Amino acid sequence: MKNKIFIFDTTLRDGEQAPGASLNVQEKVEIAKQLIRLNVDAIEAGFPVSSKAQFDAVQRIADLNESAIITGLARTVEGDIKAANDSLKNAKKFRIHTFAGTSDIHILGKFGNDRYGKTLIDKRKTILEMSCDAVAYAKTFTNDVEFSAEDAGRTDIGYLIEIIEAVIAAGATTVNIPDTTGYTMPHEYGEKIAALKDKVNNINDAIISVHCHNDLGLAVANSLTAINHGARQIECTINGIGERAGNASLEEIVMAMKVREDVWDFKTDIVTSEIFNTSRMVSAFTGMVVQPNKAIVGENAFSHESGIHQDGVLKNKKTYEIMDPDLVGVHESKIVLGRHSGRHGLIARLNEIGYHPDEEELKQIYEKFLELADKKKEVFDDDLRVLMGDEIYVKDYRHELDYLHVNIGTTTIPTATVRIKTEERLVEESATGDGPVDACFNAIDRALNEKFHIESYKVRSVTMGRSAQGEATVRLRDGSESFTGRGVSTDIVEASAKAYLQAINEHIIQADVTELLASVQTP
């Protein structure tokens, strides 16, 4: 019998912290449903206290009432833990995940104020007490409490042993040892886990968890090494997205254990045939492209270019393939839909690629599908994914593009006219610009009577062929906050206008929330 490794997915929390990867509440709920089909053991749904949108997303995911453990992050602060409990309490099973920085660099940097103690030794003592208090408080809400020693990778091993033993005594049922900065080497990290297993007296009362970042490209290697030394939970994300260089990638960890089951005494309960669908959904919703050579889920992961390789694979697949693509849900035949496919054909294909819209949603999707099929003769799986992400799940439109006309040519000044449906009325404006996109943005600014600061603007092709759909991403900046919008169309100018408007919508939604919170707090 192989030992089970618990897969704790943090795509919706640490993954969403990746620069530029923002998800709205509905997108998070759809990803959570897909993670459930993938059969992860735990879903870290967000950091509830950090914003109303985070709180709502965690609550909606908890409300799904599914079998995975739903988790919310909290600092070692009462308000955070209370918010986590409030958002999670309807879940069938939930966990409160509290954390504190434990390396000297974190302690001196984050807890510099004298109220945490004058010396490093005093501060360490305070943090240990705060951590134990937080765990004990979380325990008043649930039996399932995880403690993370942030930056454990660079934490003094003596102090790490002390704090881990103390939080277990206070009631932690999972102790997470994050390599927050992706600094450790696999042998060092393995030794750290082994030392905890050996020296923490009550270690068998908790599960050891690992959480590795990929700054040196070692997140997966570190996570796998750790399980050889006693860890039984791995925290990871789909496509390896996350802070900076990302987190350990779920698909690589799971498939390493599966493909090389001859050398691993461990197994996971992941439904591997759902890996590809999950990867593509996360990529479509976050706008984070999967690099073509990415292991397991990259476009090139199963393609053979050189003549010698192609010849070998034709004779015997195993010459150059260590796993069957079907195993991760990559199927050879590309089913193409078109105008005449009908609702049944559409729903069957959507289900196959991981989407399960309800009747009401399907009506809307079918209309959008027909519009797309009119523009493109062939509708591929990626077109459907993009359609689901950009047209269906972005519902909170305050301003919508109703009409767009652009005039360009080698000798004309680019001019754009836009008509925008706002909550109250239709506004139409025209403007010129350096190019058609700039003219479009200027026309939108005029129509809304505001000027927004564009921090970044990108366009890429998201589907295949000459009639490929273009996806535009616009990031706006307002002080310390940024707002991202995405738009997709076979016409990249239209995609850009939609992306710009979506970013503006996000900005307005955030401003409304801030105003609402201020009015609640003012007596």
Query: Which pairing describes strands 481-489 and 470-478: parallel, antiparallel, or unpaired?
Result: antiparallel
Q: Does 47 bind ligand KIV (CB under 6 A)?
A: no
**Considering CB under 5 A, how many residues would be counted as binding Zn ion?**
1
CA atoms within 13 A on the CB side of 233: 23
6 or 99: CB nearest ligand KIV: 99
Q: Quick check: 297 and 277 in contact, CB under 8 A?
A: no
Rounded least distance, CB 72 to ligand KIV, Å:
12
CA-CA distance, 28 to 165, in Å (whole number)?
A: 35
CA-CA distance, 132 to 144, in Å (whole number)?
A: 15
Interface with ligand KIV (CB under 6 A), residue from 144, 150, 274, 381: 150
* Burial (0-12, 13-18, 19+ Cβ within 10 Å), 318: exposed
Interface with ligand KIV (CB under 6 A), residue from 15, 46, 72, 178: 178
172 or 472: CB nearest Zn ion: 172
Task: Give start and end residues of each alpha helix (H) in 338-435.
Answer: 342-352, 359-375, 381-387
Q: Does 249 bind ligand KIV (CB under 6 A)?
A: no
131 or 148: CB nearest Zn ion: 148
Nearest 5°: phi and psi at 30? -65, -40
Q: Quick check: 58 and 72 in contact, CB under 8 A?
A: yes
Rounded least distance, CB 179 to ligand KIV, Å:
8
150 or 471: CB nearest Zn ion: 150
* Burial (0-12, 13-18, 19+ Cβ within 10 Å), 52: middle
Rounded least distance, CB 1 to Zn ion, Å:
32
CB atoms within 10 A of CB 133: 16
Q: Does 180 bind ligand KIV (CB under 6 A)?
A: yes
**Considering CB under 6 A, how many residues would be counted as binding ligand KIV?**
9
Rounded least distance, CB 26 to ligand KIV, Å:
24
**DSSP of 274-341, one letter per residue?**
GHHHHHHHHHHHH--PPPTT-TTTSTTTT---SHHHHHHHHH-GGGT-SS-GGGGT--SS---B-TTS
Rounded least distance, CB 173 to ligand KIV, Å:
16
Q: Quick check: 385 and 280 in contact, CB under 8 A?
A: yes
Q: Does 14 bind ligand KIV (CB under 6 A)?
A: yes
Among Zn ion, ligand KIV, none, residue 94 binds (CB under 5-8 Å by kind): none
Rounded least distance, CB 5 to ligand KIV, Å:
18
**Interface of this chain with ligand KIV, residues 213 to 232, rule: CB under 6 A:** 213
**Alpha-carbon distance values, 222 to 24, 105, 226 (Å):** 32, 22, 6
Rounded least distance, CB 99 to ligand KIV, Å:
4
Q: Does 148 bind ligand KIV (CB under 6 A)?
A: yes
CA angle 203, 208, 211 (to 5 degrees): 150
Range in contact with ligand KIV (rule: CB under 6 A) among 64-72, 173-181, 343-351, 381-389: 173-181
50 or 432: CB nearest ligand KIV: 50
From the list 453, 459, 455, 450, the residue with the least C-alpha distance to 498 is: 459
Strand partners, 73: 97
CB atoms within 10 A of CB 463: 21
**Alpha-carbon distance values, 259 to 234, 272, 277, 300, 506 (Å):** 18, 11, 19, 18, 43
150 or 274: CB nearest ligand KIV: 150
Residue nearest to Zn ion (CB): 14
44 or 144: CB nearest Zn ion: 44
Three-state DSSP state, 68:
coil
Q: Does 211 bind ligand KIV (CB under 6 A)?
A: yes
Q: Does 44 bind Zn ion (CB under 5 A)?
A: no
Range in contact with ligand KIV (rule: CB under 6 A) among 121-129, 176-184, 445-453, 502-510: 176-184
101 or 329: CB nearest ligand KIV: 101
Build a one-symbol-per-residue string for 74-113: x at contacts with ligand KIV by CB under 6 A, - elsewhere.
Answer: -------------------------x--------------
11 or 176: CB nearest ligand KIV: 176
Among Zn ion, ligand KIV, none, residue 99 binds (CB under 5-8 Å by kind): ligand KIV
Strand partners, 488: 471
**Interface of this chain with ligand KIV, residues 365 to 424, rule: CB under 6 A:** none
14 or 471: CB nearest ligand KIV: 14
Structure tokens at 211: 């959480």
Interface with Zn ion (CB under 5 A), residue from 5, 8, 9, 14: 14
Instruction: Write out the residues near ligand KIV by the rule CB under 6 A.
Output: 14, 99, 148, 150, 176, 178, 180, 211, 213
Instruction: Write out the residues near Zn ion by the rule CB under 5 A.
Output: 14
